[in-house]
């Protein structure tokens, strides 16, 4: 007998098997839009960013030390380092937002810095490659540069 009472309680929460519950089910909780994580104003406070920056800088110091007797190689290493750092800072500035004019100027700076890296690395690679691969490297560098310009400045998403 005790089992049938429990079954009745399980079938209907009010305990009354003849009448359905007069209370409507509670409404679902309101759906909030997914909150975007707040972009930190100073990303250097994040330990992971500090560790990555220190690792990158330490590698640059070691490379610069090894290239201290080759001015061309040393200039390339230091230029690439400062271009990459500038690119990261510009990307962070772009993510933070701002006025449309500021975002357009930052996009232009990002494209110029990325193009400088592409041209620099293509130039270094073309010095050690045979002429066929050198031509391929420069064709790919040109297509990436033109494609980046098109996607950043000419293409309008519908």
Spatial separation of the C-alpha atoms in residues 137 and 129, rounded to whole Å: 9
- pLDDT per residue over 59-90, tens digit each? 999 999 999 999 999 999 999 999 999 999 99
Q: Answer yes or no: pTM beyond 0.85.
A: no
| CB contact set of 124 (below 8 Å; sequence gap of 6+) | 76
- pLDDT per residue over 95-143, tens digit each? 888 888 999 999 999 999 999 999 999 999 999 999 999 999 999 999 9
- pLDDT per residue over 1-36, tens digit each? 555 555 555 555 555 555 556 778 888 776 655 555
Sign of CA dihedral 87, 89, 92, 94: negative
């Amino acid at each position: 007998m005790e089992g049938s009472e429990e079954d009745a309680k399980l079938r209907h929460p009010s305990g009354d098997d003849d009448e359905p519950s007069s209370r409507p089910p509670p409404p679902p909780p309101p759906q909030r839009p997914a909150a975007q994580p707040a972009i930190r104003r100073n990303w250097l406070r994040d330990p992971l960013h500090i560790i990555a920056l220190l690792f990158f800088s330490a590698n640059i110091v070691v490379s610069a030390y090894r290239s201290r007797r080759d001015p061309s190689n040393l200039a390339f290493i230091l230029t690439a380092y400062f271009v990459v750092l500038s690119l990261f800072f510009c990307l962070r500035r772009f993510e933070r937002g701002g006025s449309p004019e500021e975002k357009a100027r930052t996009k232009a700076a990002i494209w110029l810095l990325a193009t400088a890296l592409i041209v620099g690395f293509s130039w270094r690679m073309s010095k050690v490659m045979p002429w066929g691969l050198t031509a391929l490297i420069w064709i790919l560098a040109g297509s990436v540069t033109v494609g980046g310009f098109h996607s950043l400045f000419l293409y309008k998403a519908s």
